[in-house]
Chains A and B, each alone.
Chain A
Amino acid sequence: MKEVPLLQVVNISKQFGGVRAVDGVSFELCQGEILGIVGPNGSGKTTLVNLLTGFIKPASGKVFYKGRDITALAAHEIAGLGIARTFQMVRPFYHLPAFKNLIVPLYSPRVKRLSGGKFGDRDAVAIDLLEEVGFERDSFVPYKPASALPHGYLKRLELARCLALRPALLILDELFSGLSMAEVASTLPVLEKLQIEGITLIMVEHRLRELFRLANRVIVLNFGAKLAEGTPQEIINNEEVKEAYLGSEAV
């Protein structure tokens, strides 16, 4: 796996006041990989996602996507390149029906370009996508306003909104948090299917069991810095990680 990396993060840092939220993190990501990012609360995982997707600009360091420097690009431009993200705190369009939530990414310049200018029926594509992430097609659920949906559906709506963008790299910020076991179980095959389609995934996750099942490689953050990197098995056996992440309970 040593071709040109899909994503290359070089020594990226960001401070909030005196807090070093992300402190000199570097890593590489290859096409088709699933990279897990874990770490205790406040270790800078979401900030790292925000830095990669242009929602926050780094104080120093660079991000390269397919060899191109994207550090200075705006968030919508980065999304336009095919780096889609979900939000840990769900951000649906509450006033719109669930399926209309997907019209927004389907209307984006990226999707217009990929579909060759003519699109056809956006509503039908939206309903298909919702079915893919587990919305019941023949029920009222896809037509309900997002404000009336339970949290589990909103989380999967986040995922669907990213899929609508036809991403090459999908960054999932704690997709599984707040989902029931059944919902997680039904979402896992969606992610496995994405991997088969060759979509690269970065998963920020607290649900380690599900993550370790999917991920090829895991990065552990602690106090904004990279503590460890390796296969799930290496991470599980790493003493430093146990101490930082799992605390004394696991010892």
Chain B
Amino acid sequence: MVSRRRERLERGIKVRTDDVYALCSTKEMLYLVAPRLIPILVLLLLPLILPTYWQKVVIFTGVFALLSISWDFLYSFTGLVSLGQALFFGVGAYLAGSLNHYFDISPGLTIPISTIAGATLCTLFLLPALRLRGIYFAMITLVLPLIFLRIIEATAILGGTDGLTALAPLPGIWIELYLILGIMLVALFALRRLVNSDFGLVLRGIHDNDQAVKGAGINIYWYKAQALFIAALLGSFAGAYLTHVYMFVGLSAFALDFTVVPIAATVVGGMGTLGGSVLGAFILVPLSEVLRAFGPLRIVFYALLIVVFIILKPEGLFNYLQRKYREFERWVEV
């Protein structure tokens, strides 16, 4: 009886180095470029054929994709377990809302201002917590948005429970669509580049072993603060942007969804890849819309699907696809 097994071979190292070797043939260039270019083209062309309702879903998905990238960057590359994507989102959202409502500044300015000011504020809020690690840091990030929520509710500042309404809209659905998709793609590729730079290596070193980074003469708190600022930039932009899309900001800006869905999206998509976060968001958010037909049972099916994903592909979809793409498989006789 001849038994057979499947043999897996990695593709040649030259092809995978992303280096100058790749330029030696069209085939190898395509091998590297196609998996990046095709998703980009699909993303950019998709809104053109979708009905209005689904265009709105794409906008919402883009927002969650940004938050997911932000979470994955903090967790997989800096080792900061954040439950505070809602903090970044809410601070950005309320800043944009207030600037527009009280000072009548147009969205073209409120969004960039809120992105940078929001990220600065979030970094300052979390500065005292940077010495904490793991679950202790996570607790602080989880609690802060809840505190802000209750403060706004109790003191009725910034519109209280009613929120700030009738804010200025963005000029047209196409601007809305391509702004979020553009920023999302730029953030994705910029961060993928950043984590492989020497700066990114220091962050990954902190994730692996912060004591050794200290021993290497590097101030880990300064690096953690910078990572936090970068992650908060993405979250605050998402908040400021969605405020102007909805023309409204309210207590829902600090909702737990903005914390939980990005984590689920990253886990489904694949941690430590950043691309996986986007993939996960583009699966989970539209899926949640498709399941609306089930009414109250929607969340049950949604949760079950996530569980199935995690059990079947614990490494995450992106890592799985990447591995398959890089491997040859063949049957060999043992």
A-to-B contact residues, CB < 8 Å: 53, 55, 74-77, 79-80, 84-85, 87, 91-96, 100-101, 103-111, 122, 161-162, 164-165
Contact = CB atoms under 8 A, between A and B. Distances in A.
B211 A76 contact: no
A79 B209 contact: no
Nearest to B198: A107
A79 B214 contact: yes
Contacts of B202: 103-104, 107
Contacts of B213: 76, 104
Nearest to B210: A91
B217 A76 contact: yes
Interface string B206-226: 011101111111111000000
B198 A108 contact: no
Contacts of B212: 87, 91-93, 104, 161
Interface string B184-210: 000000000000001101101101110
Contacts, number: 87
17 contacts: A55-B211, A74-B214, A74-B219, A75-B215, A77-B219, A79-B215, A91-B211, A92-B212, A95-B204, A105-B216, A107-B199, A107-B218, A108-B216, A108-B218, A109-B218, A122-B198, A165-B216
Contacts of A161: 212, 215-216
A161 B201 CA distance: 14
Interface of B: 198-199, 201-202, 204-205, 207-209, 211-220
Contact of A96 (B208, B216, B218, B219): B208
A-B CB proximity, top 10 nearest: A79-B217, A105-B216, A108-B217, A93-B208, A91-B212, A75-B214, A80-B217, A104-B205, A91-B209, A110-B217
A154 B253 CA distance: 47
Contacts of B208: 92-96
A204 to B, nearest CB: 15
A101 B204 CA distance: 10
B220 A100 contact: no
A229 B217 CA distance: 31
Contact of A79 (B201, B204, B207, B216): B216
A125 to B, nearest CB: 12
Among B202, B211, B216, B219, the most chain A Cβ lie within 10 Å of the Cβ of B216
Contacts of B207: 95
A95 B78 CA distance: 12
Contacts of B220: 76
